[in-house]
Amino acid sequence: MITVIAIDDEPLALQLVSGYIEKTPGLQLAGKFDNPLDASDFLSGNQIDLVFVDIQMPDLSGIEFTRLIEKGPKVIFTTAFAKYALEGYKLDVVDYLLKPFSYDEFLAAVQKARNLISLEQNALHKIESNEEFLFLKSDYKIRRINFNDILYIEGLKDYVKVYIKNDPKPILSISTLKLIESKLPESKFMRVHRSFIVNLNRIETIDRSRIVFGKEYIPVGDQYKEKFQEFLDRNFL
């Protein structure tokens, strides 16, 4: 699913592009804004894949807005003026839709965005697994996570939260628990619940079939109990 926002100070234009987004499979409209400053605030606290933005707007133009979110989500310009096309290419936007544009033209631009997003995600997933670390994309950055620093990982639909030793705030990344599990060494990590993977080397306390990390209690699911018990038996004095 590609999360999208639309920005346009013209109500009819904003309604049109928002309607296109909502009826297109694989796109999720996360917000629509008539002010790019409000959209910028929204982006600071939300992970968005694609932005449709008008160019000529008061306070902040679409071009200025795009410069502000450099290395953030993909951008598609929507404008009534062809003269800005060159500027769009300089900013490396995905596409440039000239108003009024049809749904077919909209879909063609979306497909370009899909291809670019897919290429980037595949490049991240193809990083070779090893016994020391992995890379995760979080907040538009790619972060190296050392395995020894991980306490546990929580899966939340299309997101994961990676909890790190001595860090009160987990790392949030768009991924699945299954994909993360495939990148982790089996000798160090174990899935103990449909929503949790734990670092076996970081387990210090087990309380009634729950693994304790500080104030957090990670349950061991029924289908994982046998494998987890085998781990305990191998290391039990």
* pLDDT bracket for residue 153 (50, 70, 90): very high
Tens digits of per-residue pLDDT, 87-143?
Answer: 655 677 899 899 999 999 999 999 999 988 887 776 555 544 556 888 888 877 888
Give the span between the Cα atoms of 140 and 125, in whole angstroms.
Answer: 16
List the structure tokens of 16.
């049109």
The pLDDT value recorded for residue 205 is: 93
> Are 142 and 159 part of one and the same domain?
yes
- Is the pLDDT at 158 greater than 80? The verdict is no
39-94 pLDDT per residue, tens: 998 988 788 999 999 998 888 888 899 888 866 799 999 988 776 656 655 677 89
Name residue 235's beta-bridge partners: none
Nearest-CA neighbor of 70 among 45, 106, 43, 99?
43
Chosen domain end from 97, 124, 151: 124
Residue 84 sits in the same domain as residue 159: no
Q: What does pLDDT average to over the chain? A: 87
Which residues share a beta bridge with 174?
159
How many independent structural domains does the chain possess?
Answer: 2
What pLDDT, on the 0 to 100 scale, is given for residue 112?
93
Instruction: Indicate whether 32 pLDDT > 80.
Output: yes
One domain for residues 137 and 120: no
| Interval 193-220 mean pLDDT | 92
**CA-to-CA separations, 193 to 24, 31, 51, 190, in angstroms, rounded:** 34, 33, 36, 9
CATH assignment of the domain containing 190: 2.40.50.1020
Domain of 215, in residue numbers: 133-234
Q: Which residue has the higher pLDDT, 44 or 154?
A: 154
Structural tokens at position 138: 């979080």
